[in-house]
Structure 1
Amino acid sequence: MKRLLRHAAAALTAGALSIGTAHAVLITQWAYTNEAGWSSFTGEGTITPSGNSGSILGLPTTLTWGTNNTSSLVADSPVSGIIFTNGAPQQGVPLTHNNFEIALGISLTSATLRDALRLQPIVPPGAAFDAPTLEFDISFLETPNAPAGGICADGSPVANGCPDIFVLNNPGELAPVSFIIDDYEYTVTINAVGLGPLSDQACAAVGAGPGCIGFITPENQVSTLMTFFTITARQIPEPGLLGLLGISLGALGFSRRRMK
């Protein structure tokens, strides 16, 4: 009987472990397309949209404003490539502000950037699908370049003009997004390089509270906010596997007690 119990426990343990591996296939390589475009915008004067983000969204990628000189905000979409699960970050759609001196009274004031990510498993192969679409709500301030007192809206001293200010009103949209395929949970994490807390003065100038998240762009320069993303994965234990492991461990314990 002792020998029978030991064999039964071993068989249960082996069976439980085999269930955990029989159907779990980790997707290790993906093709991706990241698109972004402007779904809405407001401003003083005329804001001109142009460009096309691609076949997923079909939205304008460029917003232009100003007379004589012009400023613009450009989502360089689409971006396609290959990404590996638990591998190095890959580039998403960059956001570029062409910040040139323009007459006050014509300016972008707010915009919503819609962002889509299409993934297709390559290893092993699978059907393409879209991750949840993200919506980034942005407030913008075209700052005066010769403010009274020589202090710019962000609190910095005037130096070749004053930087313009962007505030991301819903930074929670940058939270990781997860989805489940077979026995694995995959998580997409976005990193926007250069996006971070602004000074209290900069936040207040745009009408946001202290500690707001955004970025500033120097006058008469081209500034690009680079985005990157990763895909990580973890295996999800199956309820049946956990139950069988419990039974097998219980049988092992019982056989040990009987052997004493």
Structure 2
Amino acid sequence: MNDKISSINKAINILKRLAEEPFEMTVLNLSNELQINRSTVHRIINILKDESLVLQNPYNKKYCLGPTAYHIGASYVNNYDQIRYMINDIALDINQSVGFVKLEGEKIINIYEVETYQPIRMGYRQGQYYPIHCGAYGKCTMAFYEPKERLEKIVYSTELVKNTPNTITDPEKLLKEYEKIRKDGYAISDEENVIGLIGIGAPVFNFNGKIIGTIASALIKSSTTKEDIEKVKMTMINGAKRISKLLV
């Protein structure tokens, strides 16, 4: 039984690694990085290939995720069809990039993103994880995480990477930022995650008042006015309330 569990864990680790950049790897690369015996990686890869969970590039012989992996992920995303339609309407209304992330356990995962209305694409992708300490998605979602005692432990045990000069990397300052977000009912990220971008997000709750995730918009700072920020802020807050009603 332990051997089977170990093999399952190794297979999961391989799939998770292929879901991250560079998205293609050789058996040797996987073996070295994951510290799994090369022959074991090869055996697991062959099983995953049989189920189309991974594919092999015929030119460079590297492996990547296959259509079955996409099918599994798509079935998860399809649970949020109504939210996607609403996000599209919100993005059209303000002519800005808008997206929705969901809190899964202690991770923040991208569910849907609309980037049609920006001259510069942000490069977001479905399934991407976001940091808890910077960006409207991460800060807004984690600000409402419960219980608060657990939130403090998460903050102090997480590496708060400094992505820009504005990134909050001090746990105490981050917890105070969370308090402000809870009081205001929205979050603003001013070049905290990416230079040149302002993020504005509002929390989405379920029928029990528990945080589900966040809708947010990303604005190009150089072309954004105070009026733009105020309009987007209110649109995010009202949009989040509308989405929350869908989750009753």
TM range (shorter): under 0.3
TM-score, normalised with respect to structure 2: 0.23
Q: Which has the higher contact order (CA 8 A, sep 6+)?
A: 1
CA radius of gyration, larger in? 1
